Each structure stands twice: as C-alpha cells, then as structure tokens.
Amino acid sequence: MAFDIQKYIETYAEEAREQLQALKQGLAALAANPRDAEVLSSLHRSAHTVKGGARMLKLTAINELALQLEAVLTLLRDGRVAYGPELSDLIQRSGDVLSSLVEDAAAGRPPGADFKPLCAGLAEVAARQGSAAVPAPAAAAPAPAAAAPAPAAAAPAPAVAVDPGSKAGRQRRILVVDDSLLSREAAKDLLAPCGYLVDSAPDGEAGLRLAVENAYDLVITDVEMPQMDGFALTARLRALEARRGIPIIIMSSRAEEDFKQRGLAAGANAYLVKGSGEPTQLQDTVRTLLP
C-alpha cells in the first residue's frame, strides 16, 4: 500500500501549529518560574511531536531543527542547562523558524527560512553541557527495527490468511496509543485496509483503560506521551494477568539504542522507528505478530 504523504500534510500542519503555539506560551510561563516541571515537560513534548511528524513525512528541514530543539529542551527539562535570556531567545527564534517552515510545507513550497544557524546554535548549547545534540538524520542511517518475542509469546508463524485482519471469522482488533493525531490516523489508514479494526487513544492512561476494558489482539504505542509513557504502558500491560500475552509494538521517533533496549526490556515484541523504513514495515510487523 502506497503512503500518500500529501494526504497528511494538512493534518500535520494543524498539529504543528498547535504545538508551536504551546511552545510560545510555555516560554512565557517560564519567565515567571524557570523550573516549572509541568511547563518544561510540555515544551519538550511540543518539540518532540513536531519532530516526529516531520520525520514521518520526510520534512527534512523541520525534522533537523526540531531534533536539535528537542535535545536542548531535554537538557532544560532535566536541569542540565540553565534557563536565561540567551537560551530563551534561541528557543523562541527556533520556534518562529519552525512555524515558517511548517507554513512552507503546508503550502507545498520548499523551505524558505535559513534554519542551519539555529541548528548550530542549539547544538552548541548541548555541547557546552557535555552532551552532544542528537545528530541530524543525514549523519547516520536509521537503525533497523529491533524485535524480540515476549516471554509468553509463541514463535510467530508465517502469515497465510488471505485477510490477515480476521481469524476464525473474527476481525482482529488493534489499539493505537499516540498523542499525535497524525500518527494515529496514519496507523489506522495503513492497518484498516488489511482488515483490522483499529481503535486509538491519545495518551498512556487512556490507552491502558481501553486495553483493560477491551480484548485487543495487539497494541501499538508511542513512547513520549502525557499522563503515561509507552514504556510504562507496556510494563503495566505485561503485569496484568489477562493482558500479559498481548503483542505490543512500540513505534516512536526516538531512534536511540537505549530507547529500543528500554522498550524491549519493558516487554515490547518490537520497536519501530517512525519514518525509518517503508510504510509497509508496520503492516509486516503486525502480520508477523498476528499470524
């Protein structure tokens, strides 16, 4: 199934506008309390969401700048960099340029703003703290999806059914948990044509409630979400007797090896990196886990 990027550009643009407005409001709130943990976490999530969607849609300029901004906001959230007027200005200018790049993408224009100096400035902030900024996508090829069977899961058999979304006359049900509307819609559009029934939740707590109330055949979860992250959701599901054997796929824009290892250690059957492979990678992984 072809993945039509243009179909999702407007959804992404709307979501990115909301996140960048939240970024601006968060910076204003930090002026009153630079160590407000809730605001710092919100700023980080905004940059992460903007980056994740850009990576999925191959919007390179937005991805590169949001990637570096996320790295600095991680340091700020974790108390490893001091917040002051210089950093505030750098973050604000990065948000403004990201807004411009998003509008270019929404209008089908090539990137018009020079974002490279801001990437360099953000990388310098991170380097001064002894923690190099996350490398731009072109610096290294994305690592392949890591996969490991859960302890209670049997070895997957090859898919042989004509309609993989059904078994013994029953449609398979999949739960997608992600705070990004773009990610939820894209996953549903990829899986529904294969015959799966797809529900969604915008955060880990809502996802856990749905997973407890419904007998899903598989769960797909993001990592960084409000309320409860994907690692915690995976661990909670593995701790529930009635849900312990459910296949779980973590699908995140975080490509770092330690994130993959944390996901697998929490009990995920597979860890996929958004935008790192063909769209059919998700379909193929689901078919493997639901033979």
160, 143 Cβ separation under 8 angstroms: no
What b-and-e string marks burial along 178-208, b requiring 16 or more CB atoms within 10 Å of the CB? bbbbbbbbbbbbbbeebebbbbbbbbbbbbb
pLDDT tens profile 66-122: 999 999 999 999 999 999 999 999 999 999 999 999 999 999 999 999 999 999 999
What is the C-alpha separation between 42 and 18, in angstroms, rounded?
12
What is the C-alpha separation between 263 and 261, in angstroms, rounded?
5
pLDDT of residue 157: 34
Structure tokens at 65: 């700048």
Nearest to 291 by CA among 153, 148, 152, 156: 156
pLDDT of residue 6: 80
pLDDT of residue 138: 36
pLDDT of residue 2: 55
Could you tell me what percent of the chain has a pLDDT over 90? 80
Asked whether the predicted pLDDT for residue 164 surpasses 90, the reply is no
What is the C-alpha separation between 151 and 245, in angstroms, rounded?
8
68, 123 Cβ separation under 8 angstroms: yes
Q: Give the residue with greater pLDDT, 279 vs 175.
A: 175
Task: Give the 3-state secondary structure of residue 15.
Answer: helix
Asked whether the predicted pLDDT for residue 149 surpasses 80, the reply is no
Residue with tokens 């773009």: 182
Residue 153 pLDDT level (bands cut at 50, 70, 90): very low
Instruction: Report residue 133 CA to chain centroid gap.
Output: 18
pLDDT of residue 51: 96
The DSSP H or E segment spanning 252 is: strand 248-252
pLDDT of residue 170: 79
Asked whether the predicted pLDDT for residue 140 surpasses 80, the reply is no
pLDDT of residue 163: 54
